[in-house]
Structure 1
């Protein structure tokens, strides 16, 4: 159990009047033994520090947590250029869950906010992903006359900066041609200013698709519908001008969409306020309908012949956002058959100048490599980049997750039309009533149950429509149907039991099971969307899914386990809130292919991580009062819940 480790509180002043530089320097010297500008459980000092106040008193502060809070408060004062400061003891001794939640609400969301306009570009254009070695670029759709005029007018205000107007027809060939000319894509302007958005973490400067929805959940709880509505509007802009909600607004994502959450984003944002802006709601709903029909329901691409959907990200060649050498293991197979070094083979493949087939050592079909990268791009479109579940097969799968999300679109459209538009909404010269969408949802439900439900295991699995078989892989995504309210109460009981038996860990829900990774992994590479890691989106969807079917006690336990892990990690590591966790060891020290974002900072974590912040606020909003008290005391989950 966590307990205050300072001396008797009654003997302490409410405010410590200190010299900022001297106190900060002394604290670092005394307690930051590894000199990383943080005070953590890995520092080897005695964790007792005497604060010398301006009025000549000495106040003893003890424990890693309280000392790290003191460090953060001093650093904030220094950042404000204060020579002397009044450090409130209420901040030093603040309850840990309360502190995390307060900082998310009052600091982190604003620190994660960006906008694409002249002031915003001052920061965005420092990002290396916005430029090559010599030129920084902003790409603007040819259909956005307002954006073209605005950005052309400020082009001269930035050094080595170019505004590029995209062609009307954006093809995979065009996107490949600008891979060596990277840049950011413009977003919506309103009243001469960029419409703001929240980025995933401090090192990001672009708006990511599904991240935005989960961030929106937290923003709505914290009363920041100004940002939630703005991000929905940026989604609508992307649909109108880029033809899809982008993976992110970078040039190399122009052929790639992302998991569809827009109707949930619209509905939850609209209904979290007392506003009655039905015009906004109508415009946003029509934009979501455009995405549904034009992105997801085009035959032969994301819609398969069996009536269900798949991820299918168009493009040519190697995904440009990956680091050098990422695909060497796969490319080596082909390079060996062509009797070429990997570097030469890669160059030839990317340029389309491979030797003819009769020069290959054995029978080799080049499209199989093209197919591999189709699957890889589609995997990235699913945002599970990467997992052994989807490796080399993603575009052949009717995934449980995607079809659950589209079922939610269909039921959301029915609800919105019936509730707010008098059961009639016109889009593209066609009038829709609620029954149209309910029929769509029912047809999808029948197909999901027919093709994705596994009667033996009593769970949903992704369906390979090429081999006409289930991909037997234990994944958190198998439980999206409970969030979408697609299942019967009998199915929900089976799913709940299966979930807790296969994916519950000490820190929450696993992205996938150890058994599945061991079965499907073809190398020892640790994929970040697999065991032993856990992710905020999975937790949030599964909590809501369980509660949809009355499993409140199970949801409370999972929420507590997740929040306890975040809180304990922040207490032990100077407020660190990372992108993901190892939920088996309950640590932010994740050694997967991309490491962990949000763990490197000096003194203060400035912004946490977007969907991790949201999961914290969402979890607290659902947690009962007794468990909130125990969370602040850091009572171990094992004390409260049976295995």
Structure 2
């Protein structure tokens, strides 16, 4: 039986722990010998389940991020003993045995008279975490995975680095001239690739089953704009390993077995990718929500697989993934070939091709040039609807295009693989249906999920603006920019804060999702600062 990389690493880790050279062999900086890569639900079992299902904390993520004050075995023994008493109080037990997470930037507001640009610049230090914050030698292991260099977190409930968020944060760091911090963050992602074989959703043990949209090649290209194209050669090994992760199992696929993990065989010679997760259990950070939803289905494990894959997409959650286009319980994420994911992988293949060319490896450069062209052709074939004149996700199980209009359609424009006529058609639909007073709405339907109408998100505004500019749709790009910037500034003026997402239709405050709108906020800061300072 072949184990997925995350599980193989855990097995390898267990063996390496028997040797004194472990910390130097696996990590660049010595880590705690008590580091446990099991997620908190696996560590604490019945205790974790009880805390989550009894809603000891309003947000399921709180307990997943707690740090135990004592060895796990000690806490579990105490729990088994204490729970038998008639006066047992679960919340008191938790606070006695765990340290609660600190919310970065929570409650932080701007100084009197401070501009939005000044506010964002000040926030970088508030949102930056020092190197190796996580498990320390001699202390019990929490879920946070230590990183070797400083990094920026989003803010609000998110006290760890997030993969795709970080690219948009880096845009703002570039505008601020903080090249060293950009490189530190890229080095952290390179470290995660070397350690786990991929970049997890974030640096938490409970994220080790999944990644997020592969923006690492775009990060490296962003750094190369400041430090030169040879940067691609520096990170070439990690770029290659990330590509290997997404393509794992490609050679095993057949007509009878067309999909394995994240790679899908549509026909001989045509391979595209999907979002996936290697686990089929409730997400620890949304445990209660997942369990409650599973009670409404007959196949909980299948639901968990699709829910986790939806989380890997970054669009958690959206009508993009719903069979009926309305309800989360009909989610079937792994059945889709997402247009955004595959556009990003074209960029990764193109970056690999250039990296190998710069290295002098003509054979590999040619290989990845061909693969990028093959993927581009496949995206245009499977994800373009000629009748609707728009890009959609492709349901490879049902062998048909999705009918959900979403801003994922701008990715082919962003990476320059759409034809000029396709780009023009997408622009027409964006202006007619997506453009609202506060920017572009994520989809055209209201489901109560946060990645649907009426919400707008900073990364999608940026990708849309850049994609439109790539095809000389400058007037529309400027409309999107103006509406989005004005809404950001309006909310900032009223509250003194930047937030995670915005209601772009009624501009009354974003809604939906598993948690309240968060302030901070990394990618909002990065995109807004870039738009405010660009020439």
The CA deviation at 1:585 is 1.4
Match of 1:185 in 2: 145
Match of 1:303 in 2: 263
Q: Map 1:96-495; keep pairs closer than 5 Å.
A: 99-105=115-121, 107-117=122-132, 120-121=133-134, 138=135, 151=136, 155-156=137-138, 161-163=139-141, 183-188=143-148, 195-272=149-226, 275=227, 278=230, 281-299=232-250, 300-306=260-266, 307-334=271-298, 368-391=299-322, 392-418=331-357, 420-421=358-359, 423-424=360-361, 432-433=364-365, 435-495=366-426
Counterparts of 1:329 and 1:270, CA distance in 2 = 44
Match of 1:346 in 2: none
Counterparts of 1:302 and 1:214, CA distance in 2 = 24
How many residues of Structure 1 are paired with residues of Structure 2 in the alignment? 406
Paired residues of 1:570 and 1:576 also in contact (CA < 8 A) = yes
Structure 1 counterpart SS, 2:285: coil
Counterparts of 1:259 and 1:233, CA distance in 2 = 18
Q: CA RMSD in A?
A: 2.0
1:372–1:326 distance in 2 versus 1, CA, 3 Å: closer
Counterparts of 1:477 and 1:308, CA distance in 2 = 16
1:453–1:333 distance in 2 versus 1, CA, 3 Å: closer
Match of 1:572 in 2: 494
The CA deviation at 1:72 is 5.5
Deviations 1:572-615 (A, max 9, x none): 22x121111011112335354321001xxxxxxxxx30000011
Paired residues of 1:295 and 1:302 also in contact (CA < 8 A) = yes
The CA deviation at 1:445 is 1.2
The CA deviation at 1:417 is 3.9
Structure 1 counterpart SS, 2:177: coil
The CA deviation at 1:186 is 2.4
Paired residues of 2:455 and 2:510 also in contact (CA < 8 A) = no
Paired residues of 1:474 and 1:502 also in contact (CA < 8 A) = no
Q: TM-score, normalised by structure 1?
A: 0.60
Structure 2 counterpart SS, 1:440: helix
Match of 1:531 in 2: 453
Match of 2:524 in 1: 612
1:333–1:399 distance in 2 versus 1, CA, 3 Å: closer
Q: TM-score, normalised by structure 2?
A: 0.72
Counterparts of 1:555 and 1:310, CA distance in 2 = 29
Counterparts of 1:298 and 1:444, CA distance in 2 = 17
Paired residues of 2:272 and 2:342 also in contact (CA < 8 A) = yes
Paired residues of 2:117 and 2:529 also in contact (CA < 8 A) = yes
Deviations 1:5-35 (A, max 9, x none): xxxxxxxxxxxxxxxxxxxxxxxxxxxxxxx
Counterparts of 2:279 and 2:464, CA distance in 1 = 32
Counterparts of 1:484 and 1:399, CA distance in 2 = 15
Deviations 1:253-277 (A, max 9, x none): 11111110111100111212xx459
Counterparts of 2:208 and 2:216, CA distance in 1 = 18
The CA deviation at 1:332 is 3.5
Counterparts of 2:297 and 2:372, CA distance in 1 = 44
Counterparts of 2:370 and 2:296, CA distance in 1 = 49
Paired residues of 1:452 and 1:460 also in contact (CA < 8 A) = yes
The CA deviation at 1:388 is 2.2
Deviations 1:89-114 (A, max 9, x none): xx73x6xxxx1112212x11111111
